Structure 1
Amino acid sequence: MPPNDQLRAARAAHPSVRAPGRGLSRAELAEMVAAEVFRSTAREVPIDAHYIAKLERGVIRWPCTEYREALRAVLSATDDAALGFRPPDHGGHAVAPLPPAYPSDGLVELAARAEVTDVGGAAVEALEEVTDLLARAYATSPPDVVLAQVRRRAAEVSTLLDQRATLTQRRRLLVTGGWLALLGATVLVDLGDRHAAATARAAAASLGREAEHIEMTAWAVEIATWTALIDQDWHRAARLAADGEALAPAGTSAAVQLAAQHARAAARLGDGATVRARLARAEAGVDRQSGGRPRDHHFVFDGRKLDGYTATSLAWLGDPAGERVAREVAERYAPGPARRLATARIDLGLILARNGRPDEAAHLGVLAADSGRLVASNTWRVTELDDLLAPRRDIAEVAELHERCGDGRPSARDRPGGGGAGSKTL
Structure 2
Amino acid sequence: MSEVNGLLRDARERTPSRRAPGEHMSRAELAEAVCAWLWETTGVEYDLDGHYIAKLERGVVRWPGAAYRSGLRHVLKVATDNELGFSPGGGRIGPAELDLSASAVLGLERVLVEAGDESATMLSVAEESNVGDLTVEQLHADIHRVCQEYLRMPTKDLFLRSRSVRDRAFRLLTGRQSPGQSRELYTAAGWALIMLGWMSVDLGRPDLAENHTRTAWACAEAADHADLRAWVRATQHTAAFWQDDFSRAAEYAESGLQYATGSSRLFLASALAVDLARTGRIDQARTALTTAQRMPERYGEYELAGPLLCTPARAEGLWSDAHLALGRAGKTLEHAEHSMAEFEQAPPAHRNPGAERMVRLQQVKAHLELGQLDGALAALTSVIDTPAEFRVRPLIHRMSEVGAMTRTERYTSEPVAAEIQVAAREFIRKAAPRHRSRRRRAAPAAAKSA
TM-score (norm 2): 0.63
Alpha-carbon spacing, 1:363–1:288, altered in 2? closer, same or farther (3 Å): closer
Alpha-carbon spacing, 1:292–1:40, altered in 2? closer, same or farther (3 Å): closer
- Quote how far apart the aligned CAs of 1:16 are: 12
In structure 1, what is the equivalent of residue 179 of structure 2?
Answer: 167
Measure the CA separation in 2 of the matches of 1:383 and 1:313.
19
Alpha-carbon spacing, 1:326–1:218, altered in 2? closer, same or farther (3 Å): closer
Which of residues 115, 123, 129 is equivalent to 2:141?
A: 129
- Quote how far apart the aligned CAs of 1:233 are: 2.7
Measure the CA separation in 2 of the matches of 1:33 and 1:154.
24
In structure 2, what is the equivalent of residue 381 of structure 1?
Answer: 398
- Residues 208-223 of structure 1: pairs in structure 2 closer than 5 A: 208-223=220-235
Count how many residue pairs are aligned between Structure 1 and Structure 2.
334
Measure the CA separation in 2 of the matches of 1:172 and 1:259.
27
Measure the CA separation in 2 of the matches of 1:206 and 1:267.
31
Measure the CA separation in 2 of the matches of 1:360 and 1:213.
45
Q: In structure 2, the residue corresponding to 1:158 is in which secondary structure? A: helix
Alpha-carbon spacing, 1:332–1:284, altered in 2? closer, same or farther (3 Å): closer
TM-score (norm 1): 0.66
Measure the CA separation in 1 of the matches of 2:227 and 2:257.
10
Within the alignment, does 1:306 sit opposite 2:315 as a pair?
yes
Alpha-carbon spacing, 1:168–1:42, altered in 2? closer, same or farther (3 Å): farther
Letter in 2 for 1:255: R
Q: In structure 2, the residue corresponding to 1:328 is in which secondary structure? A: helix
Measure the CA separation in 1 of the matches of 2:28 and 2:250.
53
Q: Is the 8 A contact 2:267 2:315 kept in 1?
A: no
Within the alignment, does 1:234 sit opposite 2:280 as a pair?
no
Alpha-carbon spacing, 1:334–1:374, altered in 2? closer, same or farther (3 Å): farther
Q: In structure 2, the residue corresponding to 1:401 is in which secondary structure? A: helix
Which of residues 392, 409, 412 is equivalent to 1:393?
A: 412
Measure the CA separation in 1 of the matches of 2:270 and 2:206.
22
Letter in 2 for 1:304: A
Alpha-carbon spacing, 1:363–1:136, altered in 2? closer, same or farther (3 Å): closer
Q: 1:211-231 CA distances to partner (integer Å, 9 max, x unpaired)?
A: 222432332222121122223
Measure the CA separation in 2 of the matches of 1:288 and 1:334.
20
Q: Is the 8 A contact 1:365 1:382 kept in 2?
A: no
- Quote how far apart the aligned CAs of 1:259 are: 0.9
- Residues 64-213 of structure 1: pairs in structure 2 closer than 5 A: 113-213=125-225
Aligned CA RMSD, in angstroms, stands at 3.8
Q: Is the 8 A contact 2:365 2:402 kept in 1?
A: yes
- Quote how far apart the aligned CAs of 1:204 are: 0.8
- Quote how far apart the aligned CAs of 1:234 are: 2.5
Measure the CA separation in 1 of the matches of 2:268 and 2:244.
17
- Quote how far apart the aligned CAs of 1:183 are: 0.8
In structure 1, what is the equivalent of residue 108 of structure 2?
Answer: none
Which of residues 270, 274, 294 is equivalent to 1:264?
A: 274
Q: 1:356-411 CA distances to partner (integer Å, 9 max, x unpaired)?
A: 2245325534643343343112211111122223221321222223234448x624
- Quote how far apart the aligned CAs of 1:151 are: 1.5
- Quote how far apart the aligned CAs of 1:286 are: 4.9
Within the alignment, does 1:412 sit opposite 2:430 as a pair?
yes
Q: Is the 8 A contact 1:366 1:401 kept in 2?
A: no
Letter in 1 for 2:395: N
- Quote how far apart the aligned CAs of 1:41 are: 7.3
- Residues 315-334 of structure 1: pairs in structure 2 closer than 5 A: 315-319=324-328, 320-333=330-343
Alpha-carbon spacing, 1:237–1:194, altered in 2? closer, same or farther (3 Å): closer
Which of residues 279, 287, 301 is equivalent to 1:277?
A: 287
Letter in 1 for 2:419: E
Measure the CA separation in 1 of the matches of 2:353 and 2:308.
20
Measure the CA separation in 2 of the matches of 1:129 and 1:293.
12
Alpha-carbon spacing, 1:256–1:108, altered in 2? closer, same or farther (3 Å): farther
Letter in 2 for 1:243: S
In structure 2, what is the equivalent of residue 62 of structure 1?
Answer: none
The unaligned stretches of length 5 or more in structure 1 are 1-13, 45-72, 74-102, 416-426
Alpha-carbon spacing, 1:34–1:239, altered in 2? closer, same or farther (3 Å): closer
Q: Is the 8 A contact 2:339 2:359 kept in 1?
A: yes
- Quote how far apart the aligned CAs of 1:197 are: 1.8
Measure the CA separation in 2 of the matches of 1:144 and 1:344.
24
Alpha-carbon spacing, 1:30–1:301, altered in 2? closer, same or farther (3 Å): farther
Q: In structure 2, the residue corresponding to 1:192 is in which secondary structure? A: coil
The unaligned stretches of length 5 or more in structure 2 are 1-15, 31-49, 59-75, 77-114, 346-350, 434-450
